Structure 1
Amino acid sequence: MQLRNKSAAPNTNPEIDRLLKIEQRYTAFVNNSSDGVWCFETDHPLPIALPEAKIIRNILDKGILVDCNLAFAKMHQHNSVNDLIGTPLHSFISSSEPQTRMILKNFIRGGFRLNNIEYRHPSKTGPERVYILNLYGILENDCLVQAWGIQRDITNQYRAQEKLKKSENRYRNIFDYAFDAILIESLDGQIFAVNKRATEMLGYSQAEFLNMTIHQLIPEDFKAKLPNLTDRLKAEGVVVFQAQNRHKNGHLIDVEICTKLLSEEEHNLAQVFVRDISQQKFFQEQIQSLSAQIEQFSRISADIITITDEKELFQRISNAIVEISDFSRVLFYTFKDTPPYRVILGHVGLSAAALSRISKADAPREKYLTLFEKGRRLGNQSCYIPHTMKHLVGQYAVDYGKREYSAQTGGWHREDNLLVAMKNKSGELIGMISLDDSKSGLRPNDETVRPLELFANHISQILHLKQLEEERHKIEEQFQQSEKLRALGEMAGGVAHDFNNVLSAILGRAQLLKRDVNDPEMIHGLEIIEKAAMDGAATVRRIQEFTRLRKDQDFNVISINEIIRDSIKYTQTRWKSDADERGIKYSIKTDFQTEPLVLANGSEMREVFTNIILNAIEAMPAGGLITCQTVTMNETVHVIIRDTGCGMDSRTLKRIFDPFFTTKGVKGTGLGLSVSFGIIHRHNGTIDISSEPGEGTTVSISLPRYSQKQPRVQEESRKRPRTITTGLSAKILVVDDEEDPRILLKDILEMYQYQVLTAESGAAALEILEKEPDIRIIFSDLGMPDMSGWELSKAIKSRFPESIVVFITGWGTQLNQKRLSECGVEHVIAKPFQVDQIKNLVLDYVHLTGRG
């Protein structure tokens, strides 16, 4: 690069020699610089008084590059300055680019000076390059005669900054969407940053947090511990403790706090993780409360409650009643809401046959309340039923006494009966003590029943104690099961999403390839791949069932009796055809009340009952009886399915709903009852299983009864597809930050002659929509950096309300329908999807006048 073209003739003037040496040094410096240096001139000086647009046009049309260094040449993919010197500016700078004109405008308006302007230039060998430019104009006689430019390639620095921004955004997403509240504070308590969970948990906005100190969240009685806490934090680096935080509305929240110093460089800042443990505390306090009640009642019934075997305990109670009373036969039981309505706990003087008959007879609580109304009341909670009123009792519900008595006034008759009620603290009837065969032969009176009533209250306390124990165990089991499923659900949610994405690529590509091949063997191989992908999708759905991740509710009003009949019919091959071939006899009996209606998904409920029936058949290898019964009580429909199979021990029973637990060896998946558990809970119901080895198994299911106030169908607020009329081909936009699924969907749509545009981000999608306003269908992924599918859908609906947004996502049925509606999402296709799903969906929305 020569700053001036001088003659090579020697100079004898010392001043000229000095200037030439300076020029040579500057020339060497410029030529060796890594910054690009260049100079342009026009064919004649440009008066600076000319209009701005005219100066720009002259520069772009008539500007010539008259000088540059090698660094500048290489920036424009040339290895020699001679390749560029003498070329018009417009040959390597686009005159139509808005960026070029903006730079020249700023150059003119800055007095023909321009400093540190950033611009982008396309590269022939790769992505566009980013430069910083300084431009300096040479003015003579109010005319621009030359302009010198110095530019530096900052592409690598720019890309590093972009990468840092993306990393920062990822951190921000983790920070904002963490399950725990996170606060950044100084050691003196000033809050500098909080995540979204903190605002949800404590009720303050982010702006309010930033004007607060951590001390304002802590109750007064805990503040005294803070100085010690600060010292510990400085010494240990991390401190974990439990405390309470004050919500904006004033109430206190039990929390676990983990405080950690950020780094040695930022030793005055701490990161605080706050976890809401209110529910955990609630369970712990409830368990402690129940334990305290159990301890209290244990002291009252110290004599009997020391017996650990329940059967022995109730037998001792029965023997004690006989010992302290005037009666030699006793039967005591509690009531339940489902047939046969009584649970017999203890007895004395009854034969096995009589006990079996009584235990199967329906005798609901209401029947005994009627007996108390019509019988002869004694004491506070007793009733004498003379043999003259025995028609009120029912012959199957009782076994009459065996002793014969002589007829006498005020005497006891063999068919007389005394009932002593057992009540809870609220005075509700919970059970009954039934007595006969008087030892004295006399009828009871108020005085003779008093000891029995005292003992009945004592038994009620024991039963209450047992109930508290059961509730405590149930709460602990529910808590453990909830924690287990929560942890499994968090893991399974991500696995299901990622697995669905993988399956979508496999299934989509296999189905596309099938359309392009004719070789039968190749087609057969692709069909195997397709089936494997569909089987994998079914496995993901089962995972979503037992972890209760699904949120879609395709519910209709159905008859639970009809669903059970369907399940019996579907399993007929197992319990009838196959069994007959093997010489085994199975019977299935139904005992249905008036058609009980529930709001449910019929297919899912059939799966539940089919699982239960098949399990019952497996438990009866030599044949047996299955009884299916339905009962409606108040607002609940009860389904009871019993079998006469081998039963289960308590150890097996505890694990019966655990995913992948099976007693069938390699034949079982261990998912049947886990899936059933998820289905029933998704229907706001409960499922319970009771069993004893050798005594068969009873499955009890409770579901909310359908009320006329409920809508007959609760669907995903489906809308009738809106028709779009286009020309010969519909224009569709596909948005996904991952290239493979984006290209797959593009290939599928283009196969059906649709015009398809793609975008790798939400921002890019909005830019395309601004330029292509005739796009009406947008397929979008959900989880994308910078702008999620939710945010993109909202933005599209606000700017282009007629557009149709369809989510294609691996999260599938886990999406909340209310949020989908709020964000304007018309449809959701769960991955993995089939090619025909895409085709049919587009055809639903697009009405074509030609081929599409």
Structure 2
Amino acid sequence: MKKSLFDFSIQANEGGYMDYIARYRRLLIRVFLILGLPLFSEFALRAFLHQRYIAGSIMVGLLADIIFLFIISRKQVSDGKQAFLFELFLRVFAFLLFFFLFYATYIENRYHVLPWYFVLPILIFSAVGIREGIAWVVAITAVLFYTTFKLDVPVNRDLITSLNTRLIMIFIVTSGFTCLASYIAQKAIRTLFEKQEQLVASQNSLQKVNQQLEKEVADRKQIETRLNANEEKVLRLSEQTEQFSLTAASLIGMGNQQEIFDRISHAIVQFSDYRRVIISSFKEESPYRDIIGFGGVEAEVIDRLRTIEMPKSWYDGVFQKGIKVGQFSYYIPHTMKNILNQEATIFGKGPPNVDSDAWHPEDNLFVRMHDEKGEFVGVISVDDSKSGLHPTDETVRPLEIFASLIVQIIILKKEQQQRKLLEEQLVQARKMESIGTLAGGVAHDFNNILAIILGNLELTIDDFPRDHQGHMNLEEAMTAGLRAKDLIRQLLSFSRPTDQSRQSLVIKPIVEESLKLMRSTLPANIEIQSKLDDRVHPIRSDVTQIHQVIINLCTNAAHAMAENGGQIQIGLLEKDLDKNDLEKLGKLVPGRYVILEVSDTGHGIAPEHLSRIFDPYYSTKEVDKGTGMGLSLVYGIVKSLGGEIFVESQPEVGTTFRLYFPVVDTEPVEEKEVIEEIPKGRGRIMLVDDEPALTKLGAQMLTRLGYETRTFNDPVEALQWFEVHADAIDLVITDMTMPHLSGAQVTERIKQQRADLPVVLCTGFNEYIDESGANHIGVDAFVMKPLILKDLAQTIHKMIVEA
């Protein structure tokens, strides 16, 4: 394939072997043009001077072509149109030069231009390449031969033919040498270029190898740097793990919980990536969190933070919007600090680092602590990074380990406290069981004593007219005795649960009666003030329960003011609670409530005890000053009535209890004094009781009712007499608890002899028998001491007269 100057120019743009060929040929053309320009100019001028206008015109064409080619050869030929013109004018130049030589030698016989026949092959081969150049040489040779032997020359034909023949030979030889030289030159250039290409390739290969080596060296250095960094990190983490393990191991033998948390705080500051730490746990009462450990923070700052309310709900934004790191750690950068409680958060100081991954002085990190149920129980907050970098899984891992350890310690301590509390409650329950047993015995004896008092009062009160002062005094004594009877019933509730008969009643009279009783028992330095609304509606309750509530709350208030005295204020009102009220009283539902308020001016209740005052057996009083059951009993009564109880207390100011009872729509049961005639009768009654005073009193009461009485203080003696005189008795009244034989055994022996004889069982207290149990052993009636004359008369009348 031929390679023209245009082709070489294009290849020169692309580089490589053809670039050298193009440069070589372009150089030859430029040299030839630069040398030929003045000669052709001379030829043209001389031709026109000698009136050789055809030769002159050919020279002018050559000059114009030379100038055009010279201009184009100085440019980088890349445009298709310019390249075509370049090729065209290059061939035109070769053709015009040949035509000029042919015209000068064959037409004008001017052989002074013969040296140009040596130049023409060089120009041809440089312009059109070897293959096309050979074609030109063949064509020119053919033209020369044809002209030499066919041209009709009139003068010196032989000389001219000889000259032309010599010219042709010169042209052929010159063309051959030129073709060979061009070939050798191109071959040499190709060889040189290939060697240069090999050198360049070798150099490029060496450069690539060098670059690869440099890259490998750089990679190795980078890997080595990373390995060193990882080694340092592993070493640091290993040291941290070792120190944390030693710290955790040292905690096993510690019994003081605060000492454990102090040791953990110190370990975090000393061995973790953070210089400050605060460990907090949560509680139900204000300020809702306890700072159980801290490090790197001034004690004054901690004291201030302890006064700020921080409920666990405040951290919801931290865990929802914070950047999670590790398993349960959350990073709050300074750009998000607005979600934090500014008053309760510690921020660092100093200039910030401009690096994107650097720790900012106002950054914070929070580690969530949760129990085995996933409940949020505490938080570890740290700041002031030692490395100056953002937190990573590696830096927060020790904190999360300690968070889990702290949770386990908190759970363990709570379990220990609960176990201790249960043990205390068990001991207290056993004490109360003993007290209940003792209360039963005391109630039995006290009922016997009270029976004598009430019985004699009843016998004596009838000796005075109803309008007599003595009669009124005795009625007051009877009322107090009957209230004492109810108090004994309360005392018996410690040993055996009793069914409460609840009814719709207005509690104002019950409160007034209870306060009247309390005034007689309180010391003179304690004053009771009451403000009771007469318009309160009824509630569903039991008289004795309301009485228990008043007595216990007032007694508790009196204990709080025992040393310095004070005032107990009792309030009773009714209020319709709406949604606004329920925002503070969330446990209640909208509606009308009777509110009983008991306030005192005592020493108050400490905040740490306030949440436990209703726990059974919980008491802060001295061992011999209380059982811890009073407020628990009040709480149980209020809850059983569908109400709620709230307490407010300030140390050295006083305490206020507010009890809310729901109002009922039913009409209250009014206790009307009904004067009933005591039924009397005739008959023979055997009375058996081991207490002589009671048998004496019973004989008097039965005699007043119209009955003949035979009394016995020994049940064995009574049965011996009964075996002989069984038909002489219409009714038997026997005590339950007696020496030698119980009332149940006496009843069984009597029923064996006379199954039709009615037996009334009477007792002050017995934990093994009640009315249903008495009926089971054959007793016809069951009554509790102390006996009231009216109740005794009605029971006997039913057994003897009505039967």
Higher helix share: 2
| TM-score using structure 1 length | 0.41
Rg comparison, structure with higher value = 2
| TM-score using structure 2 length | 0.43
